[in-house]
Amino acid sequence: MSNIYNYTLEMLEEYFIKCNDKKFRATQIFDWLYKKRIKNFDEITNIKKETLDIIKKDFNIDKINIVDIKKGKDVSKYLFKLEDGRFVEAVLMNHDYGNSLCISTQVGCNMGCKFCESGRLKKVRNLETYEMVEQILIVEQFSKKRISHVVLMGIGEPFDNYDNVMNFIRIINENKGLGIGARHITVSTCGLVDKIEKFMKENTQVNLAISLHAPDDEIRNKIMPINKKYKICDIIDIVKKYIEVTNRRVTFEYIMLDNINDSEECAIKLSRLLKGLNAYVNIIPYNETNNIQYKRSKNDKIIKFYDILRKNNINVTIRREFGSLIDAACGQLRSKYEEDDL
């Protein structure tokens, strides 16, 4: 028996055709799931009982569970317990342009970035599509707010769970589903070049963000093990190709780590690296955790870094800080619960 939220509209259409039924049943089901937000199949009133019995035999509508919510100014962190007892997180951020939810795509992460709490407890498994979809549904239910933007930047490397992530995107982007615009969805990757190449052929308007965090291989090798497989030159090459094929701007994320990657020399190197690209840099003040040695760069160094990029004609922003007081670093709240259970 499979969770119904694993299925895209197209997958459900194929299911009903195989059942010798009409494919428009899939649209009916989507309406009940994503517009009316039913809790069980018995609430469906426009599908005959014989068909519902088949659906109930093949699908369940079980949900993941919230076990903790921490709230701060314009931010809330939700901790979910999955059916196997594992934990993942989602973070709701209230912006002037809408409500953005940062979701998790895996239980743990194998990328091993040295500054990241998510990767400190290694990957256990990929999240299924329904476990990503339900993060949105449940946060909307508890917050009473419509999620207008989704970022795949929580626990896990999205492109290490490629197929489930793409089905998730199709469901939330589908007008008959959650109807979240493709340009309001952002996928963040630490630089899996082969998957970026695959992603650029999906013919989607979804945003791509690259977790770069260093201007050269020497620094990146120390803080991001993935760089030993995909060098910065490999990433820049595929980004150039991606921009050419999709005509979409790419975001480079850059966490500021004190005395690691925040020098003026680093800013100059980064400016040279990105010169001429249809891209912008999102500078991220680091959320410190008790388990990791790295520290947040001083404010004056962050501003100086920003100024150097601006003077070198690099589009750049400094991310507004959310939730430094509510364990908002990716994986921080989850790791507390996981380790308490060990």
Q: Answer yes or no: do 143 and 248 share one domain.
A: yes
Residues in the chain, how many? 342
Active site residue 109: no
Pair (181, 313) in one structural domain:
yes
Q: Around 201, how many Cα atoms within 13 Å sit in the side-chain half-sphere?
A: 5
User: What was the pLDDT predicted at 329?
Assistant: 52
Range of the domain at 49: 2-60
Q: Say if residue 79 is in the same domain as residue 206.
A: yes
pTM of structure: 0.93
Active site residue 89: yes
Shared domain for 156 and 228, answered yes or no, is: yes
What are residue 293's phi and psi, to 5 degrees?
Answer: -75, -25
Please identify, among 17, 44, 60, the residue that sits at the C-terminal boundary of a domain. Answer: 60
Q: Which residues of 136-145 are buried (b: 16+ CB within 10 A; e: fewer)?
A: bbbbbeebee
- The CATH number covering residue 274 comes to 3.20.20.70
- The answer to whether residues 215 and 252 belong to one domain is yes
Question: 13, 89, 128, 338: which is the annotated catalytic residue?
Answer: 89
The pLDDT score that the predictor gives to residue 324 is 53
55 and 79: one domain? no
Coil/strand/helix, residue 142:
helix
Are 52 and 98 part of one and the same domain? no
| CB distance 134 to 64 below 8 Å | yes
The kind and range of the H/E element at 260 are: none
Q: What is the reported pLDDT for 339?
A: 47
Q: Residue 35 is encoded by which pair of tokens?
A: 């517009």
Whole-angstrom Cα distance, residue 191 to residue 205? 19
Last residue of a domain, one of 60, 87, 110: 60
Give, in order, the Cα–Cα distances in Å from 199 to each of 83, 128, 157, 209, 243.
Answer: 30, 19, 14, 12, 12
What are the average pLDDT values for consecutive 10-residue runs of the chain, which has 342 residues? 96 96 96 96 94 95 94 93 96 93 96 85 93 98 97 96 98 97 98 97 96 98 96 98 97 97 98 97 91 91 98 94 54 51 45
Catalytic residue among 109, 128, 330, 338: 330
Structural domain count of the chain: 2
